[in-house]
Amino acid sequence: MKLLSVVFAATLAFASLSPVLAQGRLDKIKDSGQVTLGYRESSIPFSYLDGEQRPVGYSMDICHAIVDAVKAHLGLPELNVRQVPVTSSTRIPLVANGTVDMTCGSATNNAQRQEQVSFAPTTFVTATRFAALKASGFKDLADLKGKTVVSTAGTSNLRWLTQANAEQNLGLRIITAKDHSEAFLMVSSGRAAAFFMDDILLAGLVANSRYADDWVISQKAYTIEPYGIILPRNDPEFKAVVDAAVKALMQDGRLDALYKKWFLQPIPPRNINMNWPMTPELQRVIQNPTDSPDPAAYTLPAAG
Domain 23-123+228-291: assigned CATH number: 3.40.190.10
Q: Tell me what pLDDT residue 20 has.
A: 40
Express the helix, strand and coil content of the chain in percent, nearest 5 each.
45, 20, 35
Q: What sign has the CA pseudo-torsion 176, 180, 184, 189? A: negative
Three-class SS of residue 118?
strand
> What does pTM read for this prediction?
0.86
Three-class SS of residue 276?
coil
* Positions of CATH 3.40.190.10 in the chain: 23-123+228-291, 128-223
Annotate 33-61 with DSSP letters as a single string.
TEEEEEE-SEETTTEEE-TTS-EESHHHH
Strands 272-273 and 266-267 turn out to be antiparallel
- Residue 221 makes CB contacts below 8 A (sequence gap 6+) with 127, 128, 129, 199
Cross-strand partners of 272: 267
Q: Tell me what pLDDT residue 300 has.
A: 74
Second CATH level (architecture) for the domain 128-223: 3-Layer(aba) Sandwich (3.40)
Packing angle between helix 199-207 and helix 180-188, nearest 10 degrees? 60
Across the 304 residues of the chain, what is the mean pLDDT of every consecutive 10-residue run?
40 39 84 98 96 97 98 97 97 97 97 97 97 97 97 97 97 97 97 98 94 95 96 98 98 98 96 94 96 93 56
C-alpha neighbours within 13 Å on the C-beta side of residue 34: 9
Q: Tell me what pLDDT residue 285 has.
A: 96
Chain-centroid distance of CA 261 in Å reads 19
The whole-angstrom separation of Cα 221 and Cα 219 is 6
Q: Tell me what pLDDT residue 147 has.
A: 98
Q: Where are the alpha helices (DSSP H) in the chain?
A: 2-22, 25-32, 58-74, 91-96, 156-167, 180-188, 199-207, 236-251, 254-263, 280-287
Under 8 Å between Cβ of 263 and 278: yes
Cα–Cα distances (Å) from 1 to 10, 13, 126, 131, 227, in that order, read: 14, 18, 58, 67, 52
Q: Tell me what pLDDT residue 259 has.
A: 98
Q: Tell me what pLDDT residue 73 has.
A: 98
Q: Where are the alpha helices (DSSP H) in 37-179?
A: 58-74, 91-96, 156-167
